[in-house]
Amino acid sequence: MEDFEQPVLSVSNITKHYGKGCVNCRGSQVEHLLKNYCPVCGTVYACQDITFEVYAGEILGIVGESGSGKSTLMECLYFDQEVSSGEAYINSYKSGTANVFAESSQQKRYIRNHMMGKVYQNPLMSLKMNFSSIGNIAEKLIAAGNRHVGMMEARGKELLEHVNIPVYRMKEAPKNFSGGMQQRVQIAKALSNNPPLLLLDEVTTGLDLSVQASVLDLIKTIQRELKITVLIVSHDLGVIRMLADRTMVMLDGKIIEHGLTDQILEDPQQSYTQQLVQSLL
Amino acid sequence: MEEILAIEHLSKSFVIHNLDKNIEALHDICIDLREGEFVGITGKSGSGKSTVFKCIYRTYAPQKGNIWYKSKKFGLVNLADLSERQIIYLRKYEIGYVSQFLSIMPRTTAQELVKHAVLEMGHEEEYAEREAFKMLEHFELDRELWDCYPGTFSGGEKLRLNIARAMVKRPRLLLLDEPTASLDHASKLKVRELIEQLKREGTTMMGIFHDIEFMENLCNREYTMRDGKLVDIEI
Protein backbone atom coordinates (compact mmCIF):
# COMPACT_ATOMS: atom_id res chain seq x y z
CA MET A 1 0.00 0.00 0.00
CA GLU A 2 1.22 3.49 -0.82
CA ASP A 3 1.31 6.26 1.75
CA PHE A 4 -1.54 8.11 0.13
CA GLU A 5 -3.74 5.08 0.60
CA GLN A 6 -3.25 4.94 4.37
CA PRO A 7 -6.26 6.50 6.08
CA VAL A 8 -5.34 9.01 8.74
CA LEU A 9 -8.80 8.62 10.19
CA SER A 10 -11.13 5.72 9.67
CA VAL A 11 -14.68 6.06 10.97
CA SER A 12 -17.31 3.36 10.99
CA ASN A 13 -20.99 3.39 11.85
CA ILE A 14 -21.04 6.49 14.05
CA THR A 15 -24.50 7.10 15.44
CA LYS A 16 -25.41 9.91 17.77
CA HIS A 17 -28.94 10.23 19.12
CA TYR A 18 -30.54 12.54 21.63
CA GLY A 19 -33.15 10.56 23.58
CA LYS A 20 -33.39 6.97 24.70
CA GLY A 21 -34.95 5.53 21.59
CA CYS A 22 -37.79 3.01 21.54
CA VAL A 23 -38.73 -0.23 19.78
CA ASN A 24 -39.90 1.85 16.84
CA CYS A 25 -36.53 3.49 16.20
CA ARG A 26 -33.79 1.43 17.86
CA GLY A 27 -31.36 -0.80 15.95
CA SER A 28 -32.47 -1.72 12.49
CA GLN A 29 -35.75 0.16 12.83
CA VAL A 30 -34.26 3.51 11.71
CA GLU A 31 -36.36 3.43 8.57
CA HIS A 32 -39.33 4.22 10.81
CA LEU A 33 -37.89 7.67 11.51
CA LEU A 34 -39.53 10.83 10.27
CA LYS A 35 -36.45 12.45 8.71
CA ASN A 36 -34.10 12.04 11.69
CA TYR A 37 -36.77 12.08 14.38
CA CYS A 38 -38.72 9.22 15.92
CA PRO A 39 -42.44 10.13 15.88
CA VAL A 40 -43.15 7.69 18.74
CA CYS A 41 -40.56 8.59 21.40
CA GLY A 42 -39.20 11.90 20.07
CA THR A 43 -35.59 10.72 19.89
CA VAL A 44 -33.51 12.74 17.44
CA TYR A 45 -30.89 10.84 15.43
CA ALA A 46 -28.34 13.57 14.64
CA CYS A 47 -25.91 11.14 12.99
CA GLN A 48 -26.87 7.75 11.64
CA ASP A 49 -24.43 5.07 10.68
CA ILE A 50 -21.70 7.40 9.38
CA THR A 51 -18.77 5.59 7.77
CA PHE A 52 -15.85 7.16 5.91
CA GLU A 53 -12.09 7.34 5.65
CA VAL A 54 -9.86 10.35 5.24
CA TYR A 55 -6.35 10.02 3.86
CA ALA A 56 -3.00 11.68 4.47
CA GLY A 57 -2.72 15.16 3.01
CA GLU A 58 -6.24 15.35 1.66
CA ILE A 59 -9.08 17.77 2.32
CA LEU A 60 -12.43 16.07 2.79
CA GLY A 61 -15.46 18.35 2.60
CA ILE A 62 -18.77 17.71 4.34
CA VAL A 63 -21.78 19.64 3.05
CA GLY A 64 -25.45 19.66 3.88
CA GLU A 65 -28.22 21.90 5.10
CA SER A 66 -28.44 23.22 8.65
CA GLY A 67 -29.45 20.40 10.97
CA SER A 68 -28.10 17.65 8.73
CA GLY A 69 -25.63 16.51 11.40
CA LYS A 70 -22.36 17.91 10.04
CA SER A 71 -21.32 19.76 13.18
CA THR A 72 -22.52 16.93 15.46
CA LEU A 73 -20.23 14.59 13.55
CA MET A 74 -17.28 16.97 14.08
CA GLU A 75 -18.16 17.32 17.77
CA CYS A 76 -18.21 13.54 18.14
CA LEU A 77 -14.82 13.22 16.43
CA TYR A 78 -13.32 15.89 18.70
CA PHE A 79 -14.90 14.25 21.79
CA ASP A 80 -17.02 17.35 22.46
CA GLN A 81 -19.92 14.90 22.48
CA GLU A 82 -20.03 11.21 23.21
CA VAL A 83 -21.12 8.95 20.36
CA SER A 84 -24.08 6.64 20.92
CA SER A 85 -22.33 3.92 18.93
CA GLY A 86 -19.62 3.52 16.33
CA GLU A 87 -15.86 3.35 16.05
CA ALA A 88 -13.00 5.59 14.93
CA TYR A 89 -9.36 4.74 14.36
CA ILE A 90 -6.54 7.26 14.05
CA ASN A 91 -3.50 6.04 12.19
CA SER A 92 -1.04 7.81 14.49
CA TYR A 93 -2.65 6.50 17.68
CA LYS A 94 -1.59 2.97 18.64
CA SER A 95 -0.90 2.37 14.92
CA GLY A 96 -4.59 2.68 14.17
CA THR A 97 -5.57 -0.42 16.13
CA ALA A 98 -7.55 1.20 18.97
CA ASN A 99 -11.10 2.48 18.73
CA VAL A 100 -10.62 6.01 20.10
CA PHE A 101 -14.23 6.25 21.31
CA ALA A 102 -13.62 3.33 23.64
CA GLU A 103 -10.56 4.91 25.27
CA SER A 104 -10.48 6.48 28.74
CA SER A 105 -11.14 10.22 29.25
CA GLN A 106 -7.43 10.70 29.89
CA GLN A 107 -6.51 9.04 26.58
CA LYS A 108 -9.18 11.02 24.76
CA ARG A 109 -7.64 14.23 26.14
CA TYR A 110 -4.24 13.00 24.93
CA ILE A 111 -5.59 12.31 21.42
CA ARG A 112 -7.38 15.65 21.32
CA ASN A 113 -4.31 17.60 22.38
CA HIS A 114 -1.71 15.77 20.32
CA MET A 115 -3.47 14.45 17.25
CA MET A 116 -6.25 16.88 16.44
CA GLY A 117 -6.88 20.56 16.09
CA LYS A 118 -10.31 22.08 15.73
CA VAL A 119 -11.45 25.46 14.47
CA TYR A 120 -15.00 26.41 15.40
CA GLN A 121 -17.42 28.70 13.62
CA ASN A 122 -17.66 30.70 16.83
CA PRO A 123 -14.20 31.71 18.15
CA LEU A 124 -15.68 31.89 21.67
CA MET A 125 -15.81 28.09 21.65
CA SER A 126 -12.04 27.83 21.38
CA LEU A 127 -10.43 31.10 22.46
CA LYS A 128 -10.28 32.77 25.87
CA MET A 129 -11.13 36.26 24.76
CA ASN A 130 -9.36 37.94 27.68
CA PHE A 131 -6.11 35.98 27.36
CA SER A 132 -3.42 37.23 24.99
CA SER A 133 -3.31 35.53 21.58
CA ILE A 134 0.01 33.93 22.39
CA GLY A 135 -1.46 32.85 25.76
CA ASN A 136 -4.29 31.08 23.96
CA ILE A 137 -1.74 29.09 21.99
CA ALA A 138 0.28 28.37 25.13
CA GLU A 139 -2.89 26.89 26.68
CA LYS A 140 -3.00 24.17 24.04
CA LEU A 141 0.77 23.60 24.33
CA ILE A 142 0.49 23.24 28.12
CA ALA A 143 -2.42 20.82 27.68
CA ALA A 144 -0.08 18.68 25.59
CA GLY A 145 2.45 18.58 28.42
CA ASN A 146 4.82 21.40 27.48
CA ARG A 147 6.19 23.49 30.34
CA HIS A 148 9.17 25.36 28.88
CA VAL A 149 8.07 28.99 28.71
CA GLY A 150 10.73 30.03 26.19
CA MET A 151 9.84 27.20 23.85
CA MET A 152 6.12 27.99 24.11
CA GLU A 153 6.70 31.67 23.41
CA ALA A 154 8.83 30.87 20.37
CA ARG A 155 6.27 28.38 19.07
CA GLY A 156 3.40 30.80 19.65
CA LYS A 157 5.24 33.53 17.81
CA GLU A 158 6.06 31.24 14.92
CA LEU A 159 2.46 30.11 14.57
CA LEU A 160 0.96 33.59 14.80
CA GLU A 161 3.40 34.84 12.19
CA HIS A 162 2.40 31.90 10.02
CA VAL A 163 -1.25 32.97 10.15
CA ASN A 164 -0.33 36.61 9.45
CA ILE A 165 -0.97 38.10 12.90
CA PRO A 166 1.52 40.97 13.27
CA VAL A 167 4.23 40.40 15.88
CA TYR A 168 3.35 43.58 17.76
CA ARG A 169 -0.22 42.35 18.37
CA MET A 170 0.65 38.92 19.74
CA LYS A 171 0.18 39.92 23.33
CA GLU A 172 -3.16 41.49 22.58
CA ALA A 173 -6.38 39.67 23.52
CA PRO A 174 -8.46 38.24 20.66
CA LYS A 175 -11.46 40.29 21.86
CA ASN A 176 -9.74 43.30 20.24
CA PHE A 177 -9.37 41.48 16.92
CA SER A 178 -11.63 41.36 13.87
CA GLY A 179 -13.59 38.17 13.05
CA GLY A 180 -11.03 37.12 10.44
CA MET A 181 -8.12 37.64 12.83
CA GLN A 182 -9.89 35.66 15.55
CA GLN A 183 -10.30 32.79 13.08
CA ARG A 184 -6.60 33.00 12.27
CA VAL A 185 -5.68 32.84 15.97
CA GLN A 186 -7.96 29.78 16.26
CA ILE A 187 -6.17 28.16 13.32
CA ALA A 188 -2.78 28.89 14.93
CA LYS A 189 -4.00 27.37 18.20
CA ALA A 190 -5.35 24.30 16.43
CA LEU A 191 -1.98 23.76 14.73
CA SER A 192 0.12 24.31 17.85
CA ASN A 193 0.98 20.65 18.51
CA ASN A 194 1.46 19.69 14.85
CA PRO A 195 -1.65 17.50 14.71
CA PRO A 196 -2.01 15.19 11.72
CA LEU A 197 -5.72 16.02 11.56
CA LEU A 198 -7.41 19.42 11.43
CA LEU A 199 -11.18 19.77 11.88
CA LEU A 200 -12.74 22.94 10.48
CA ASP A 201 -16.35 23.64 11.34
CA GLU A 202 -17.89 26.41 9.22
CA VAL A 203 -14.77 28.54 9.59
CA THR A 204 -15.77 31.21 7.08
CA THR A 205 -19.43 31.61 8.01
CA GLY A 206 -20.22 35.17 9.04
CA LEU A 207 -17.04 36.66 7.57
CA ASP A 208 -17.15 39.15 4.71
CA LEU A 209 -15.98 38.01 1.28
CA SER A 210 -12.43 39.41 1.34
CA VAL A 211 -11.79 38.05 4.84
CA GLN A 212 -13.30 34.70 3.79
CA ALA A 213 -10.88 34.60 0.85
CA SER A 214 -7.88 35.32 3.11
CA VAL A 215 -8.90 32.58 5.58
CA LEU A 216 -9.39 30.10 2.72
CA ASP A 217 -6.01 31.07 1.24
CA LEU A 218 -4.44 30.46 4.60
CA ILE A 219 -6.05 27.03 5.00
CA LYS A 220 -4.94 25.98 1.53
CA THR A 221 -1.37 27.21 2.14
CA ILE A 222 -1.12 25.54 5.55
CA GLN A 223 -2.50 22.29 4.19
CA ARG A 224 0.01 22.29 1.36
CA GLU A 225 3.00 23.30 3.48
CA LEU A 226 2.30 21.05 6.46
CA LYS A 227 0.73 18.23 4.41
CA ILE A 228 -1.94 18.04 7.09
CA THR A 229 -5.23 16.16 6.65
CA VAL A 230 -8.26 18.43 6.84
CA LEU A 231 -11.91 17.67 7.46
CA ILE A 232 -13.99 20.72 6.59
CA VAL A 233 -17.68 21.23 7.26
CA SER A 234 -19.46 23.96 5.36
CA HIS A 235 -22.84 24.71 3.90
CA ASP A 236 -21.10 26.97 1.39
CA LEU A 237 -20.45 24.97 -1.77
CA GLY A 238 -18.03 27.65 -2.99
CA VAL A 239 -15.76 26.94 -0.02
CA ILE A 240 -15.96 23.23 -0.65
CA ARG A 241 -15.27 23.68 -4.37
CA MET A 242 -12.17 25.70 -3.61
CA LEU A 243 -10.73 23.47 -0.92
CA ALA A 244 -11.94 19.89 -0.92
CA ASP A 245 -10.53 16.97 -2.92
CA ARG A 246 -13.48 14.77 -2.02
CA THR A 247 -16.88 15.66 -0.64
CA MET A 248 -19.59 13.92 1.37
CA VAL A 249 -23.17 15.17 1.34
CA MET A 250 -25.23 14.80 4.53
CA LEU A 251 -28.98 14.89 4.93
CA ASP A 252 -31.02 14.05 8.03
CA GLY A 253 -27.97 12.66 9.81
CA LYS A 254 -26.91 10.34 6.98
CA ILE A 255 -24.31 10.47 4.23
CA ILE A 256 -26.41 10.34 1.10
CA GLU A 257 -23.68 10.83 -1.48
CA HIS A 258 -19.92 11.08 -1.68
CA GLY A 259 -17.40 11.53 -4.47
CA LEU A 260 -14.75 13.73 -6.04
CA THR A 261 -15.72 17.34 -5.37
CA ASP A 262 -16.06 18.31 -9.03
CA GLN A 263 -18.15 15.21 -9.65
CA ILE A 264 -20.50 16.06 -6.75
CA LEU A 265 -20.87 19.59 -8.12
CA GLU A 266 -21.19 18.76 -11.82
CA ASP A 267 -22.85 15.35 -11.82
CA PRO A 268 -24.78 15.00 -8.55
CA GLN A 269 -26.69 11.74 -8.39
CA GLN A 270 -29.12 12.23 -5.53
CA SER A 271 -32.20 14.44 -5.69
CA TYR A 272 -31.17 16.46 -2.61
CA THR A 273 -27.62 17.02 -3.94
CA GLN A 274 -29.04 18.21 -7.26
CA GLN A 275 -31.22 20.74 -5.40
CA LEU A 276 -28.26 21.84 -3.30
CA VAL A 277 -26.02 22.34 -6.34
CA GLN A 278 -28.76 24.18 -8.21
CA SER A 279 -28.96 26.61 -5.28
CA LEU A 280 -25.30 27.55 -5.73
CA LEU A 281 -25.04 31.24 -6.57
CA MET B 1 2.87 2.59 -30.57
CA GLU B 2 1.39 1.32 -27.37
CA GLU B 3 -2.27 1.90 -26.55
CA ILE B 4 -2.67 4.30 -23.63
CA LEU B 5 -6.46 4.71 -23.53
CA ALA B 6 -9.31 2.52 -24.73
CA ILE B 7 -12.93 3.53 -24.27
CA GLU B 8 -15.29 0.57 -24.67
CA HIS B 9 -19.05 0.91 -25.08
CA LEU B 10 -19.28 3.98 -22.86
CA SER B 11 -22.79 5.21 -22.07
CA LYS B 12 -23.84 8.05 -19.82
CA SER B 13 -27.22 9.49 -18.94
CA PHE B 14 -28.27 12.19 -16.51
CA VAL B 15 -31.20 11.64 -14.18
CA ILE B 16 -32.89 14.96 -13.40
CA HIS B 17 -34.88 14.12 -10.29
CA ASN B 18 -37.08 17.22 -10.02
CA LEU B 19 -38.24 16.88 -13.62
CA ASP B 20 -38.37 13.10 -13.44
CA LYS B 21 -36.33 12.95 -16.63
CA ASN B 22 -33.53 10.78 -17.89
CA ILE B 23 -31.34 12.45 -20.51
CA GLU B 24 -29.12 10.14 -22.51
CA ALA B 25 -25.86 11.96 -23.26
CA LEU B 26 -23.62 9.18 -24.59
CA HIS B 27 -24.45 5.91 -26.23
CA ASP B 28 -22.02 3.09 -26.87
CA ILE B 29 -18.88 5.16 -27.44
CA CYS B 30 -15.68 3.32 -28.44
CA ILE B 31 -12.45 5.28 -28.89
CA ASP B 32 -8.83 4.27 -28.59
CA LEU B 33 -5.67 6.31 -28.30
CA ARG B 34 -2.05 5.28 -28.72
CA GLU B 35 0.97 6.86 -27.07
CA GLY B 36 2.07 10.11 -28.73
CA GLU B 37 -1.09 10.39 -30.83
CA PHE B 38 -3.41 13.33 -31.14
CA VAL B 39 -7.03 12.35 -31.59
CA GLY B 40 -9.66 14.97 -32.35
CA ILE B 41 -13.38 14.89 -31.67
CA THR B 42 -15.77 17.13 -33.57
CA GLY B 43 -19.49 17.60 -33.54
CA LYS B 44 -22.20 20.14 -32.89
CA SER B 45 -22.86 21.61 -29.46
CA GLY B 46 -24.70 19.09 -27.32
CA SER B 47 -23.41 16.10 -29.30
CA GLY B 48 -21.65 14.73 -26.19
CA LYS B 49 -18.01 15.60 -26.89
CA SER B 50 -17.28 17.21 -23.52
CA THR B 51 -19.23 14.47 -21.75
CA VAL B 52 -16.73 11.92 -23.10
CA PHE B 53 -13.85 13.96 -21.67
CA LYS B 54 -15.58 14.48 -18.36
CA CYS B 55 -16.17 10.74 -18.09
CA ILE B 56 -12.45 10.10 -18.75
CA TYR B 57 -11.51 12.71 -16.13
CA ARG B 58 -14.29 11.32 -13.88
CA THR B 59 -15.98 14.67 -13.38
CA TYR B 60 -18.97 12.67 -14.57
CA ALA B 61 -19.64 9.20 -13.27
CA PRO B 62 -19.95 6.85 -16.25
CA GLN B 63 -22.81 4.36 -16.09
CA LYS B 64 -21.97 1.66 -18.60
CA GLY B 65 -18.79 0.64 -20.34
CA ASN B 66 -15.10 0.75 -19.55
CA ILE B 67 -12.38 3.38 -19.87
CA TRP B 68 -9.09 1.47 -19.83
CA TYR B 69 -6.07 3.60 -19.11
CA LYS B 70 -2.47 2.42 -18.92
CA SER B 71 -1.15 4.21 -15.85
CA LYS B 72 2.54 4.49 -15.02
CA LYS B 73 1.71 4.04 -11.36
CA PHE B 74 -1.15 1.54 -11.29
CA GLY B 75 -0.77 -0.35 -14.58
CA LEU B 76 -3.92 -1.00 -16.62
CA VAL B 77 -6.91 0.50 -14.78
CA ASN B 78 -10.55 1.14 -15.58
CA LEU B 79 -11.14 4.85 -14.99
CA ALA B 80 -14.89 4.20 -14.92
CA ASP B 81 -14.70 2.45 -11.57
CA LEU B 82 -11.32 3.42 -10.16
CA SER B 83 -11.25 4.58 -6.52
CA GLU B 84 -11.54 8.31 -5.86
CA ARG B 85 -8.09 8.36 -4.27
CA GLN B 86 -6.50 6.81 -7.35
CA ILE B 87 -8.31 9.27 -9.63
CA ILE B 88 -6.96 12.15 -7.52
CA TYR B 89 -3.47 10.71 -7.92
CA LEU B 90 -3.83 10.35 -11.69
CA ARG B 91 -5.12 13.92 -12.01
CA LYS B 92 -2.14 15.15 -10.05
CA TYR B 93 0.51 13.21 -11.91
CA GLU B 94 -0.70 11.70 -15.17
CA ILE B 95 -3.83 13.20 -16.72
CA GLY B 96 -4.19 16.89 -17.53
CA TYR B 97 -7.41 18.65 -18.47
CA VAL B 98 -7.63 22.00 -20.21
CA SER B 99 -11.07 23.51 -20.60
CA GLN B 100 -12.00 26.72 -22.38
CA PHE B 101 -12.59 28.27 -18.96
CA LEU B 102 -9.84 29.02 -16.48
CA SER B 103 -10.78 28.16 -12.92
CA ILE B 104 -9.31 30.92 -10.84
CA MET B 105 -8.36 30.83 -7.19
CA PRO B 106 -9.10 34.09 -5.38
CA ARG B 107 -6.11 36.38 -5.03
CA THR B 108 -3.77 34.02 -6.81
CA THR B 109 -1.44 35.43 -9.45
CA ALA B 110 -0.73 33.76 -12.78
CA GLN B 111 2.68 32.46 -11.70
CA GLU B 112 1.29 31.19 -8.36
CA LEU B 113 -1.44 29.32 -10.20
CA VAL B 114 1.15 27.43 -12.27
CA LYS B 115 3.48 27.01 -9.29
CA HIS B 116 0.71 25.50 -7.13
CA ALA B 117 0.23 22.75 -9.70
CA VAL B 118 3.87 21.69 -9.15
CA LEU B 119 3.70 22.10 -5.37
CA GLU B 120 0.66 19.82 -5.33
CA MET B 121 2.90 17.08 -6.69
CA GLY B 122 5.06 17.40 -3.59
CA HIS B 123 8.01 19.30 -5.12
CA GLU B 124 10.05 21.96 -3.31
CA GLU B 125 9.12 25.63 -3.58
CA GLU B 126 12.29 26.53 -5.49
CA TYR B 127 11.84 23.78 -8.07
CA ALA B 128 8.15 24.68 -8.46
CA GLU B 129 9.00 28.32 -9.10
CA ARG B 130 11.65 27.42 -11.66
CA GLU B 131 9.30 25.07 -13.51
CA ALA B 132 6.46 27.61 -13.43
CA PHE B 133 8.67 30.35 -14.90
CA LYS B 134 9.94 27.99 -17.56
CA MET B 135 6.41 27.03 -18.55
CA LEU B 136 5.12 30.61 -18.62
CA GLU B 137 8.03 31.59 -20.85
CA HIS B 138 7.47 28.52 -23.01
CA PHE B 139 3.86 29.50 -23.64
CA GLU B 140 4.85 33.11 -24.17
CA LEU B 141 2.73 34.70 -21.52
CA ASP B 142 3.83 38.32 -21.26
CA ARG B 143 6.23 38.70 -18.31
CA GLU B 144 4.33 41.74 -17.07
CA LEU B 145 1.30 39.50 -16.48
CA TRP B 146 3.01 36.96 -14.27
CA ASP B 147 2.25 38.84 -11.09
CA CYS B 148 -1.30 39.81 -12.09
CA TYR B 149 -4.56 38.11 -11.17
CA PRO B 150 -5.77 36.16 -14.23
CA GLY B 151 -9.36 37.41 -13.87
CA THR B 152 -8.37 40.41 -15.99
CA PHE B 153 -6.62 38.43 -18.76
CA SER B 154 -7.84 38.18 -22.35
CA GLY B 155 -9.24 34.87 -23.64
CA GLY B 156 -5.95 33.95 -25.34
CA GLU B 157 -3.87 34.78 -22.27
CA LYS B 158 -6.18 32.78 -20.03
CA LEU B 159 -5.94 29.84 -22.37
CA ARG B 160 -2.15 29.92 -22.50
CA LEU B 161 -2.09 30.10 -18.72
CA ASN B 162 -4.54 27.20 -18.54
CA ILE B 163 -2.37 25.07 -20.83
CA ALA B 164 0.79 26.09 -18.93
CA ARG B 165 -0.85 24.99 -15.68
CA ALA B 166 -1.77 21.62 -17.14
CA MET B 167 1.55 21.10 -18.94
CA VAL B 168 3.80 22.05 -16.03
CA LYS B 169 2.89 18.67 -14.54
CA ARG B 170 4.06 16.99 -17.76
CA PRO B 171 0.99 14.74 -18.00
CA ARG B 172 1.07 11.54 -20.01
CA LEU B 173 -2.39 12.27 -21.34
CA LEU B 174 -3.72 15.76 -22.05
CA LEU B 175 -7.41 16.41 -22.65
CA LEU B 176 -8.11 19.66 -24.50
CA ASP B 177 -11.76 20.60 -24.21
CA GLU B 178 -12.53 23.23 -26.84
CA PRO B 179 -9.42 25.25 -26.17
CA THR B 180 -10.04 27.47 -29.20
CA ALA B 181 -13.67 28.34 -28.48
CA SER B 182 -14.22 32.10 -28.37
CA LEU B 183 -10.69 32.90 -29.54
CA ASP B 184 -9.82 35.17 -32.47
CA HIS B 185 -7.96 33.83 -35.50
CA ALA B 186 -4.48 34.91 -34.31
CA SER B 187 -4.99 33.27 -30.89
CA LYS B 188 -6.25 30.12 -32.58
CA LEU B 189 -3.06 29.94 -34.62
CA LYS B 190 -1.07 30.33 -31.43
CA VAL B 191 -2.96 27.37 -29.89
CA ARG B 192 -2.33 25.32 -32.99
CA GLU B 193 1.39 26.05 -32.71
CA LEU B 194 1.30 25.00 -29.08
CA ILE B 195 -0.44 21.74 -29.92
CA GLU B 196 2.05 21.01 -32.69
CA GLN B 197 4.88 21.68 -30.29
CA LEU B 198 3.36 19.35 -27.64
CA LYS B 199 2.89 16.70 -30.32
CA ARG B 200 6.54 16.97 -31.31
CA GLU B 201 7.47 16.55 -27.65
CA GLY B 202 5.51 13.30 -27.58
CA THR B 203 2.49 14.27 -25.42
CA THR B 204 -0.54 12.06 -26.01
CA MET B 205 -3.57 14.28 -26.54
CA MET B 206 -7.28 14.26 -27.20
CA GLY B 207 -8.91 17.46 -28.33
CA ILE B 208 -12.41 18.74 -28.91
CA PHE B 209 -12.89 21.35 -31.61
CA HIS B 210 -15.86 22.87 -33.37
CA ASP B 211 -13.65 24.18 -36.09
CA ILE B 212 -12.88 21.41 -38.60
CA GLU B 213 -10.44 23.62 -40.55
CA PHE B 214 -8.42 24.07 -37.40
CA MET B 215 -7.94 20.34 -37.07
CA GLU B 216 -6.63 19.85 -40.59
CA ASN B 217 -3.34 17.96 -40.64
CA LEU B 218 -3.18 18.14 -36.87
CA CYS B 219 -4.86 14.93 -35.77
CA ASN B 220 -3.85 11.32 -36.31
CA ARG B 221 -7.54 10.47 -36.24
CA GLU B 222 -10.79 12.42 -36.10
CA TYR B 223 -14.01 11.19 -34.57
CA THR B 224 -17.31 12.89 -35.29
CA MET B 225 -20.16 12.77 -32.80
CA ARG B 226 -23.87 13.38 -33.19
CA ASP B 227 -26.59 12.99 -30.55
CA GLY B 228 -24.28 11.19 -28.15
CA LYS B 229 -23.05 8.67 -30.72
CA LEU B 230 -19.95 8.30 -32.82
CA VAL B 231 -20.98 8.69 -36.44
CA ASP B 232 -17.69 8.89 -38.32
CA ILE B 233 -14.00 8.10 -37.95
CA GLU B 234 -11.44 9.69 -40.26
CA ILE B 235 -7.86 8.52 -40.35
What does the domain layout of chain B look like in residue ranges? Answer: 3-234
Question: Is 70 exceeded by the pLDDT of residue A29?
Answer: no
Q: A166: domain CATH number?
A: 3.40.50.300
Cβ–Cβ < 8 Å for A17, A65: no
* CB contact A238 to B (< 8 Å): no
Q: How many Å apart are CA B78 and CA B6, to the nearest integer?
A: 9
Please check whether residue A275 touches B, CB under 8 A.
yes
**A212 and A244 Cβ atoms separated by less than 8 Å:** no
Q: Is residue A208 less than 8 Å (CB to CB) from chain B?
A: no
Give pLDDT tens digits for B181-216: 767 787 778 778 878 888 888 899 999 987 777 777
Of the candidates B75, B79, B96, the residue with the CA atom closest to the CA atom of residue B173: B96
Domains held by chain A: number: 1
A224 and B119 in contact by Cβ < 8 A? yes
Tens of pLDDT along B38-95? Answer: 999 998 888 999 999 999 999 999 999 999 999 999 999 999 999 999 999 999 999 9
- Classified as helix, coil or strand, B40 is strand
Question: Which residues from B are below 8 Å from A238, CB to CB?
Answer: none
| Pick from B60, B84, B85: CB nearest A266 | B60
Mean pLDDT (whole number) for B28-35: 94
What is the signed CA dihedral for A145, A148, A150, A153, rounded to 10 degrees? 20
- How far apart (Å, rounded) are the C-alpha atoms in residues B6 and B202? 19
How far is it, in rounded angstroms, from Cα A60 to Cα A70?
A: 12
Q: Do B18 and A270 touch (CB under 8 A)?
A: no
Of the ranges A19-33, A115-129, B77-91, which one carries the lowest mean pLDDT score? A19-33
Can you tell me the ipTM of this complex?
Answer: 0.89
Q: In the predicted model, is pLDDT for residue B6 greater than 80?
A: yes
Query: How far does CA B162 lie from the centroid of its chain?
Result: 10
- Structural domain of residue A251, as residue ranges? 3-278
Which residues on B lie below 8 Å from A54 (Cβ)? none
Report the candidate in A226, A237, A222 with the shortest Cα–Cα distance to residue A273.
A237
Residue among A5, A55, A242 whose CB faces B105 most closely: A242
| Contact residues, chain A, for B105 at CB < 8 Å | 217, 220, 242
Residue A28: phi, psi to the nearest 5? -85, 10
Amino acid B106: pLDDT:
76
pLDDT in tens, B132-154: 999 899 888 899 999 999 988 88
Nearest Cβ partner of A263 from B15, B61, B120? B61
- Say yes or no to pLDDT of A132 above 80: yes
**Residues of chain B found within 8 Å of residue A213, distances taken between Cβ atoms:** 106-107
pLDDT digits (tens, 9 = 90+) for A155-170: 999 999 989 899 899 9
The pLDDT-based confidence of A1 (bands split at 50, 70, 90) is very low
Lowest mean pLDDT across A87-101, B15-29, B188-202: B188-202
Does domain B3-234 fall under CATH 3.40.50.300? My reply is: yes
DSSP codes of every residue in B90-153: HHHHTEEEE-SSPPPPTT--HHHHHHHHHHTTT--HHHHHHHHHHHHHHTT--GGGTTS-GGG-
Q: Tell me if chain B has a CB within 8 Å of the CB of A245.
A: yes
Rg (CA), chain A: 19
Closest CA to B147 of B109, B106, B114: B109
**pLDDT value of position B156:** 80
pLDDT higher than threshold 90 for residue A37: no
Percent of chain B with pLDDT over 90: 57
Searching chain B, which residue's CA lies closest to the CA of residue A6? B85
Please provide the average confidence, as pLDDT, over all residues in chain B. 89
* Chains A, B: CB pairs < 8 Å: 52
What are the phi and psi torsion angles at A104 (to 5°)? -70, 165
Cβ–Cβ contact B14 with A under 8 A: yes
